[in-house]
């Protein structure tokens, strides 16, 4: 059996998925080596500073950095790690196909440092049968054979951003493996975080991740479509939703609101793009994407019906893609801002996790306020205290608790 200096090596250790995982394992007493190409993030983390917002992470980082958690940009040190967890981006090309260039380049870079008895775990969101491609690549390009000299598993990440540290301890893990030894080793590792695991094939685990996020996207899309129908017909969806869910166990309708970000949108497209390769098509998943992605346009359309935007200043509250996080990647709030730009509307933005603007100052200048992200910072906010008497409020999330989508501040 090969002797290793580190229990785990995490490739992509400075990102939103990799860093919380490193911290969670190190907090459990495992020796973790994080590999990343972002030197600025490495230096920041080595100095005990989180590069992004993640609940409860700062205290864990201060506890483990330099003791159980170490960082490097040197690929060759991967040979010092017993288990390797690969977390790399799988972005979309301009035609919405999956760009595997990052993964391919990584495999080429690290293949010469793979040593006998290592376990390789794929943690990234992958298109169907990507794990099979990785297995084939390793067996063709190296002296190793999966299940004999190297071991391979797919363990998809299914956490909500900004709550990853907490959820790593609360949620079971799905493990996809070709052979018994690969499964047992992956199970032993992830049981240090949570006792429950589910064994699947690698293809099934890949689809579990894609189905999970596309299911959530479809759930939000249904609520958003109900909302659009209600508003178009002149009905109050907030009251309808409350009636549907009230002591009725067969309904659990979500709130309407923006639903995209770096996971829901991308994972849906990964699934959609893969289907033609297997002579398959999907209707519901593609419809869900279109509904969610069209919500900023609907909001802008309804606002223009309500008032003339010329010579008015619009405050967009919330730029992050989801509540209480600082990540603006694939945020529909940004799409809304771009819609305002295309209408040549003067606007100002505010986000407590993204910028340092004073909310009172932002609102005092605005004729219209759009609550685009439902940050807790905006819950039950008293807009009358900050805004002009005749201001217009757009509150799809019902953050103000008025049960109204668009309303005049003077009326409430």
How large is the greatest C-alpha to C-alpha distance in the chain, in angstroms? 74
Express each pLDDT in 34-88 by its tens digit: 999 999 999 999 999 999 999 999 999 999 999 999 999 999 999 999 999 999 8
Beta-sheet strand order (sheet of 346-350): 346-350, 313-317, 368-371, 392-394, 406-408
pLDDT at 97 over 70: no
Question: Can you tell me the distance from the alpha carbon of 130 to that of 21, in angstroms, rounded to the nearest whole number?
Answer: 22
Closest to 121 (Cα-Cα) out of 180, 213, 64, 187: 187
In this prediction, what percent of the chain has a pLDDT beyond 70?
A: 97
Mean pLDDT value of segment 303-309 = 94
CA gap 319, 301 in Å, rounded: 20
Domain boundaries, the chain: 6-200, 212-411
pLDDT of residue 23: 98
Same fold, 6-200 and 212-411: yes
pTM for this model (two decimals): 0.89
Mean pLDDT value of segment 224-246: 97
Task: Say which CATH superfamily domain 212-411 falls into.
Answer: NAD(P)-binding Rossmann-like Domain (3.40.50.720)
Strand partners, 369: 315, 393
| pLDDT given for residue 110 in this prediction | 93
pLDDT tens column, 117-162: 999 999 998 888 999 999 999 999 999 999 999 999 999 999 998 8
Residue 380's pLDDT band (boundaries 50, 70, 90)? confident
Calculate the alpha carbon distances from 337 to 48, 66, 183, 317, 382 in Å. 34, 42, 46, 10, 23
pLDDT, residue 167, reads 96
Q: Taking all residues of the chain, what is their mean pLDDT, rounded to a whole number?
A: 93
**Cβ proximity of 164 and 54 under 8 Å:** yes
Asked if pLDDT for residue 102 goes beyond 90, the answer is no
pLDDT-derived band at 95, boundaries 50, 70, 90: low
- Burial of residue 246, with CB atoms counted within 10 A of its CB: 0-12 exposed, 13-18 middle, 19 or more buried: exposed
Of 125 and 20, the structure prediction assigns the larger pLDDT to 20
Q: pLDDT tens digits for 318-375?
A: 999 999 999 999 999 999 999 999 999 999 999 999 998 999 999 999 999 999 999 9
Domain 6-200, CATH 3.40.50.720 — does that match?
Answer: yes
């Amino acid at each position: 059996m090969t002797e290793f200096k580190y229990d785990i090596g995490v490739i992509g250790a400075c990102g939103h998925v990799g860093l919380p995982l490193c911290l969670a394992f190190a907090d459990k007493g495992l020796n973790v080596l994080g590999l990343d190409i972002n030197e600025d993030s490495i230096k920041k983390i080595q100095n005990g500073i989180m590069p992004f917002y993640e609940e409860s992470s700062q205290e864990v980082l201060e506890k483990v950095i330099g003791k159980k958690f170490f960082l490097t940009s040197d690929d060759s040190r991967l040979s010092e790690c017993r288990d390797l967890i690969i977390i790399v981006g799988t972005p979309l090309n301009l035609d919405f196909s999956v760009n595997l260039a990052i993964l391919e380049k990584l495999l080429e870079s690290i293949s010469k440092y793979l040593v006998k008895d290592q376990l390789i775990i794929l943690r990234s969101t992958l298109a169907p049968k990507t794990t099979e491609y990785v297995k084939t690549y390793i067996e063709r390009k190296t002296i190793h054979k999966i299940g004999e000299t190297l071991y391979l598993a797919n363990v998809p990440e299914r956490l909500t951003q900004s709550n990853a540290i907490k959820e790593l301890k609360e949620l079971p893990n799905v493990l996809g493996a070709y052979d018994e030894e690969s499964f047992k080793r992956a199970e032993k590792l992830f049981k240090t975080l949570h006792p429950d695991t589910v064994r699947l094939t690698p293809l099934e685990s890949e689809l579990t991740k894609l189905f999970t996020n596309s299911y959530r996207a479809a759930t939000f899309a249904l609520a958003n479509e109900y909302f659009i129908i209600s508003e178009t017909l002149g009905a109050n969806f907030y009251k309808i939703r409350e009636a549907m869910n009230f002591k009725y166990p067969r309904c659990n309708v979500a709130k309407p609101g923006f639903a995209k970000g770096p996971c829901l949108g991308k994972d849906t497209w990964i699934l959609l793009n893969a289907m033609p390769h297997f002579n398959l098509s999907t209707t519901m998943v593609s419809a869900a994407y279109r509904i969610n992605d069209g919500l900023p346009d609907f909001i802008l359309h309804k606002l223009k019906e309500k008032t003339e935007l010329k010579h008015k200043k619009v405050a967009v509250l919330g730029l992050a893609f989801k509540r209480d996080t600082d990540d603006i990647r694939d945020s529909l709030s940004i799409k809304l801002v771009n819609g305002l730009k295309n209408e040549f509307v003067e606007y100002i933005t505010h986000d407590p996790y993204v910028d340092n603007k004073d909310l009172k100052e932002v609102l005092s200048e605005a004729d219209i306020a759009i609550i685009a992200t439902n940050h807790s910072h905006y819950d039950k906010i008293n807009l009358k205290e900050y805004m002009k008497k005749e201001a217009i409020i757009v509150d799809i999330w019902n953050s103000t608790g008025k049960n109204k989508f668009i309303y005049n501040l003077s009326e409430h």
